[in-house]
Amino acid sequence: MRTALYQLGEDFLSTIVFLIVYFVSGKLYLAIGVAMAGGIGQFLLLKRRGRTPDIMAWLSLVMVIALGGASLMTKDSRFIMAKPSVVHFAIGVVMLRRGWLARYMPEFVKQNVPESVLVGSGYAWAALMFALGLINLYVANRFSIDVWAWFISVYAVGAKVLAFLIQYAVIWVMIRRKLRAAAIVNSTAPLPP
């Protein structure tokens, strides 16, 4: 679980930084600039450590620079509020890649959970990203920036945390059942002569 949480935190670091700076300072453009600097710094640190950036790291870098830069240039609050939808849709498309979720799973999980479950979970995550993107567009067009900030930081993040906890519980139950069944089979096997 720690590995998956670390990976999720790494993938959403710019968003987390943006929300913290915005809520602490109340300054939208400052939050955008700090989030951009954080995203670029995170990518450079990844390269400096000798790690090969995967598709999510490249996507994050491109999104941070392109959408952050566009936000600073347009200074349009509706564009800024709609921007997470673009991010959710882009991440959803990446999550349609079969087997992407394996990166977040410890070897023990990959050995004890059917691949079809992990692939299905990956597609469920993609569906969640598309749904959050659509809901964000609705909120961005209908409500103030303060309501939107609460939605994007509490409800959108909360939906992802809830999805993670549900996935964790389902996988944990599956592994326990498999190990329990294996223990029963091993205990009832005839002893060698």
Name the residue ranges covered by the structural domains of the chain.
2-188
Task: Determine the Cα–Cα distance for residues 77 and 100; give it in Å rounded to an integer.
Answer: 33
Q: Which of 139, 133, 101, 94 is nearest to 120 (CA)?
A: 101
Instruction: Give the orientation angle of helix 55-74 with respect to helix 28-48, to 10 degrees.
Output: 150
Q: 């670091």: which residue's tokens? A: 13
Tell me, what's the pLDDT at 2?
60
How far CA 65 is from CA of 33, 73, 79, in Å, comes to 10, 12, 15
DSSP conformation class of 51: P
List per-residue pLDDT tens for the chain, 193 residues long.
Answer: 565 556 666 666 777 787 788 778 888 788 888 888 888 888 888 788 887 777 777 777 777 787 778 777 877 777 778 888 988 998 899 899 998 888 788 888 888 888 899 999 999 999 999 999 999 999 999 998 888 888 887 888 889 889 989 999 999 999 998 888 887 777 665 545 5
Task: Determine the Cα–Cα distance for residues 48 and 1; give it in Å rounded to an integer.
Answer: 26
Task: Determine the Cα–Cα distance for residues 97 and 78; give it in Å rounded to an integer.
Answer: 30
Rg over CA atoms, the chain: 20
Tell me, what's the pLDDT at 142?
92
Tell me, what's the pLDDT at 58?
76
**Cβ–Cβ < 8 Å for 74, 46:** no
Tell me, what's the pLDDT at 96?
92
Give Cα 119 to chain centroid, integer Å. Answer: 16
DSSP reduced 3-state for 129? helix
Tell me, what's the pLDDT at 131?
97
| Residue 49 φ then ψ, to 5° | -75, 0
Task: Determine the Cα–Cα distance for residues 56 and 61; give it in Å rounded to an integer.
Answer: 9
In this structure, is the dihedral angle defined by the CA atoms of residues 153, 154, 160 and 161, taken in order, positive or negative? positive
Q: What's the whole-model pTM score?
A: 0.69
Question: Which residues have CB under 8 Å from 90's CB, separation 6+?
Answer: 59, 63
Tell me, what's the pLDDT at 60?
73
